[in-house]
Structure 1
């Protein structure tokens, strides 16, 4: 099969695929849900992201902070996947991931490169959350 034939074949398959924003919504929701479940199963691993200079600003211990976040993420992630209250849940995800990126950027600078790999990933996840939020708001105003 030549390139044009292959491209045509891919275009035919893409026409039958789910809508790109549905894939984005389910992917974001699954990620938020999975992160929440993992936080509930292993909060100590996630508490490693709480730096010594951040801990005093928390009103609870780092592990309790992670557990509370885990419960919230399971709920918001499930809502996004189920396409229920998507605007609210994706707004929470977008704001939370953006705040996380800002925190990770500060930690990266202050701690000499700490969490750079996580920051690089979370920038894309924050953008995905904002895209899902914008799309859900468009759907809401179109009705």
Structure 2
């Protein structure tokens, strides 16, 4: 198969693909929903991301904090998946993930590189959340 025919076949196939905004919205919604479910099933696994100097700032234990976050993430993820209140839910996700990245960056710097892998992943998820928010505000 030559390159020109391959390019034509790809263009033809792309006509049947969902638009990028839909793929991004569903991906963000699934991620939030899955993370929320996992936080409810195993909050201790997520509580390890709360370093000692953050604990006094929380009004509840790290495990309770994760349980509350898990329930909220399920709700916001479901809203995004259902394409209901998408702007609000993706705004909450974008702001929350941005704050998480700032926290993880502080931990990375102050704790000798701790959670660098999670920070790298969450930077991408933050961009995804902002993308979904902007697309929903535009009406895409």
Q: Identify the TM-score tier after normalising by the shorter chain.
A: over 0.9
Partners of 2:100 and 2:2 lie apart in 1 by 46
Give CA deviations for 1:10-38 in whole Å, capped at 9, x if unaligned.
11111110011000000000000000000
Runs of 5+ consecutive residues of structure 2 not aligned to the other structure: none
- Correspondence 1:12-91 to 2 at 5 A: 12-91=12-91
Tell me which moved more, 3-12 or 72-81: 3-12
Q: CA deviation at 1:3?
A: 1.5
TM-score normalised by structure 2 residue count: 0.98
- Whether 2:14 is the aligned partner of 1:3: answer no
CA distance in 1, matches of 2:2, 2:114: 47
Please name the residue that 1:100 is paired with: 100
Partner deviation per Cα, 1:89-143 (whole Å, 9 max, x = no partner): 0000000000000000000000000000010010010011001001111119xxx
Find the aligned partners of 1:91 and 1:102 in 2 and give their Cα distance: 17
**1:35-54 C-alpha deviation (Å, 9 max, x unpaired):** 00000000000000000010
TM-score (norm 1): 0.96
Structure 2 residue matching 1:121: 3-state secondary structure: helix
Separation in 2 of the partners of 1:7 and 1:117?
A: 36
Task: Compute the RMSD of aligned alpha carbons.
Answer: 0.9
State how many pairs are aligned.
Answer: 140
- Matches of 1:112 and 1:3 in 2, distance apart? 48
Could you say which residue in structure 2 is the equivalent of 1:122? Answer: 122
Gaps of 5+ in 1: none
What secondary structure does 1:16 align onto? coil
